[in-house]
């Protein structure tokens, strides 16, 4: 177990120091896990989250068609005509991303909203880095607001047999939705404060960019509708359902684009827009996490948490929330939450307490913890990848400056309210 912990920790340190080479560092580390036997050959496929990879790839291609249609420019014009200055434009974009992310996967949300933010920044000649970071962290926050907002929310809902409405009102009390929205209110203040110097007035031209083709917008909107609808189907769906939806719609878009332009570039240009460095980074991370999971590191962490808080319900709850924040800043929250759900059930049974507060604390901490670091969540990695393609490198301090205050502003109110409603 110790070699796995050392390799994992060293990899993350190197990725934070050498941010330009993160994909290569992660892939090399993943390869070491495989070659060393810490990740057996028969577990490689299972370690890779093909749903996330397919969804990112498919949506990236769709977004390129969306950008080519000039719809992001039109949406940017609409936002600029309705907000007074750059500061409020940033707040509006982060809130808009949060609303979408409550119903659609966080990564897909970033891919859909980021082009609009990029266009606004180009028109205003301002730095897009803080805009995209704010969109990414806001998307991560709202993923826990509804049953369909994030994989971890779906997992918890399944474990507790919760319906969509149970996330809004549970056991006669406000549910996770209100915990998240309370955090969203305070985190919006953080975004407002972060952009406090961006007081430049936005010129009101009244003009809107003419959209050249409405079909890419229809396809992108169709992706949102289908992703939501898939979560409500009354039967078990394949784990890759969301990814297959996005790639199928990309295939439709490519066929349409080829039929319209009648040249091979109509297909190749959107495919070239797919950020394979971001996909490579995620593959490396998935392999690393599969390796430490196989070596028992995640199980050991869960067991340690159980021992630390035994006997005191509030201490146990506190440890779960803040350990989840810390662990999820470095480890993908899906395997962590999957491991902790049965652990929490056992802890609650031993302590003779209602497990609701522990479960909600786990979900809120694990969801928000990814906002602490640039590589703590797939949405962050995707946003940074978009910026890199635009020629902007994101320094760790630039991310920490927004991500850490945002996380604290969102988690502290939720931490207190969950315990007040379900713990005492």
DSSP 194-205: HTTT--PBPP--
Cα end-to-end distance, the chain, whole Å = 38
Residues 6+ apart with CB under 8 A from 129: 387, 392, 394, 398
pLDDT by residue (tens digit) across 258-278? 988 888 888 888 888 787 877
Other residues' Cβ atoms within 10 Å of the Cβ of residue 158: 11
What three-state secondary structure class fits 373?
coil
Higher pLDDT, 47 or 322: 322
- Pair of tokens at residue 64: 């390129």
For 190-205, b/e burial (b = at least 16 CB within 10 A) is: bbeebbeebeeebeee
Q: Which helix (H) or strand (E) holds 399?
A: helix 396-422
- What range does the domain containing 133 cover? 2-422
Residue written as token pair 């090399």: 28
CA distance 84 to 146: 31
Least confident residue range of 145-149, 260-264, 401-405: 145-149
For residue 35, pLDDT beyond 90: yes
pLDDT by residue (tens digit) across 173-203? 998 888 888 888 888 898 888 888 877 777 7
Please report the pLDDT score of residue 111 as a whole number.
Answer: 80
CA distance 204 to 213: 25
Question: How confident is the model over 301-308, as a mean pLDDT?
Answer: 69
According to the per-residue pLDDT averaged within each range, which of 3-7, 68-72, 92-96, 352-356 is highest?
A: 3-7
Please report the pLDDT score of residue 339 as a whole number.
Answer: 67
- Give percent of the chain above pLDDT 90: 10
Average pLDDT, the chain: 82
- Pair of tokens at residue 316: 């146990």
Half-sphere exposure of 297 (CA within 13 A, CB side): 22
Residues 6+ apart with CB under 8 A from 304: none
CA distance 87 to 27: 38
Please report the pLDDT score of residue 310 as a whole number.
Answer: 63
- The β-bridge relationship of strands 173-174 and 169-170 is antiparallel
Measure the CA dihedral 188/395/371/275, to 10°. 110
- For the chain, the domain total comes to 1
For 97-107, b/e burial (b = at least 16 CB within 10 A) is: bbebbbbbbbb
For residue 113, pLDDT beyond 90: no
């Amino acid at each position: 177990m110790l070699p796995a912990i050392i390799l994992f920790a060293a990899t993350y340190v190197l990725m934070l120091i050498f941010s330009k080479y993160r994909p290569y560092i992660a892939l090399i580390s993943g390869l070491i896990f495989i070659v060393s036997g810490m990740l057996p050959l028969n577990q490689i496929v299972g370690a890779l989250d093909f749903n996330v990879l397919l969804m990112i790839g498919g949506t990236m291609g769709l977004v390129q068609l969306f950008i080519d249609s000039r719809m992001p420019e039109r949406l940017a014009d609409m936002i600029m005509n309705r907000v007074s200055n750059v500061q409020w434009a940033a707040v509006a974009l982060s809130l808009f991303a949060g609303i979408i992310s409550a119903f659609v996967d966080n990564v897909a949300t970033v891919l859909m909203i980021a082009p609009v933010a990029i266009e606004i920044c180009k028109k205003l000649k301002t730095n897009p880095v803080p805009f995209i970071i704010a969109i990414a962290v806001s998307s991560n926050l709202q993923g826990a607001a509804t049953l369909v907002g994030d994989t971890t929310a779906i997992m918890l809902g399944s474990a507790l047999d919760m319906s969509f409405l149970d996330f809004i009102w549970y056991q006669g009390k406000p549910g996770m939705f209100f915990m998240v929205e309370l955090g969203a209110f305070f985190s919006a203040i953080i975004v407002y404060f972060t952009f406090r110097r961006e007081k430049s007035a936005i010129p009101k031209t009244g003009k809107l960019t003419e959209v050249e083709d409405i079909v890419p917008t229809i396809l992108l909107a169709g992706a949102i509708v289908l992703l939501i609808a898939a979560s409500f189907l009354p039967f078990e769906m394949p784990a890759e359902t969301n990814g297959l939806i996005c790639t199928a719609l990309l295939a439709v878009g490519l066929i349409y684009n080829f039929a319209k332009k009648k040249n091979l570039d109509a297909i190749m240009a959107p495919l070239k827009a797919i950020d394979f460095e971001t996909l490579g980074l995620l593959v490396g991370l998935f392999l690393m996490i599969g390796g430490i999971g196989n070596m028992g590191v995640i199980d050991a962490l869960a067991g340690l948490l159980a021992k630390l808080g035994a006997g005191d319900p509030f201490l146990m709850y506190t440890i779960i929330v803040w350990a989840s924040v810390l662990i999820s800043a470095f480890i993908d929250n899906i395997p962590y939450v999957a491991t902790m759900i049965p652990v929490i059930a056992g802890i609650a049974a031993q302590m003779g307490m209602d497990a609701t507060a522990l479960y909600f604390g786990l979900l809120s901490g694990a969801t928000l913890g990814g906002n602490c670091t640039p590589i703590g969540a797939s949405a962050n990695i995707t946003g940074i990848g978009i910026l890199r393609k635009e020629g902007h490198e994101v320094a760790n301090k630039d991310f920490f400056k927004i991500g850490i205050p945002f996380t604290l502003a969102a988690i502290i109110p939720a931490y207190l309210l969950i315990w007040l409603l379900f713990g005492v």
